[in-house]
Amino acid sequence: DSGVTQTPKHLITATGQRVTLRCSPRSGDLSVYWYQQSLDQGLQFLIQYYNGEERAKGNILERFSAQQFPDLHSELNLSSLELGDSALYFCASSVQGGSTKEQYFGPGTRLTVT
Amino acid sequence: AQSVTQLGSHVSVSEGALVLLRCNYSSSVPPYLFWYVQYPNQGLQLLLKYTTGATLVKGINGFEAEFKKSETSFHLTKPSAHMSDAAEYFCAVRYGGTSYGKLTFGQGTILTVHP
**Statement: residue B63 has pLDDT above 60:** yes
Q: What is the pLDDT of residue A104?
A: 92
**Mean pLDDT value across residues B79-93:** 96
**Statement: residue A43 has pLDDT above 80:** yes
- The residue among B35, B21, B23, B19 whose CA lies nearest residue B78 is B19
Q: What is the pLDDT of residue A65?
A: 97
- With DSSP H G I counted as helix, E B as strand and the rest as coil, what are the percentages for chain B, rounded to 5? 10, 55, 35
**Statement: residue A97 has pLDDT above 60:** no
CB-based contact A1:A105 (threshold 8 Å):
no
Dist CA A89 CA A41 (whole Å): 12
The band of B84, judged by pLDDT with boundaries at 50, 70 and 90, is very high
The band of A59, judged by pLDDT with boundaries at 50, 70 and 90, is confident
- Chain B residue numbers with beta carbons less than 8 Å from the beta carbon of A103 are 46, 103
Distance from CA of A9 to the nearest CA of B (A): 10
**Mean pLDDT value across residues A98-102:** 68
The residues near A91 (Cβ < 8 Å, ≥ 6 apart) are: A4, A6, A21, A23, A25, A32, A33, A34, A35, A74, A76, A105, A106, A108
Distance from CA of A72 to the nearest CA of B (A): 16
- Chain A residue numbers with beta carbons less than 8 Å from the beta carbon of B107 are 42
**Statement: residue A99 has pLDDT above 70:** no
Q: What is the pLDDT of residue B42?
A: 87
Across the interface, whether the CB atoms of A99 and B95 are under 8 A apart is answered yes
What separation in angstroms does the CA of B41 have from each of A40, A66, A110, B9, B38? 18, 24, 9, 18, 8
DSSP H or E segment with residue B19: strand B19-26
CB-based contact B57:B64 (threshold 8 Å):
yes
Q: What is the pLDDT of residue A2?
A: 86
What separation in angstroms does the CA of B54 have from each of A46, B31, B62, B65, B67? 31, 14, 17, 11, 9
**Mean pLDDT value across residues A53-75:** 94
Please state the separation of Cα A60 from the chain's center in Å.
Answer: 10
Q: Does B46 touch chain A (CB under 8 A)?
A: yes
Q: What is the biggest distance separating any 2 CA atoms in chain A, rounded to whole angstroms?
A: 40
- Residues B28, B32, B38, B42: is their CA dihedral positive or negative? negative
**Statement: residue B81 has pLDDT above 80:** yes
**Statement: residue A77 has pLDDT above 80:** yes
**pLDDT tens sequence across A32-42:** 999 999 988 99
- Chain B residue numbers with beta carbons less than 8 Å from the beta carbon of A26 are none
Tally the C-alpha atoms within 13 A of residue B36's C-alpha that lie toward its C-beta.
23
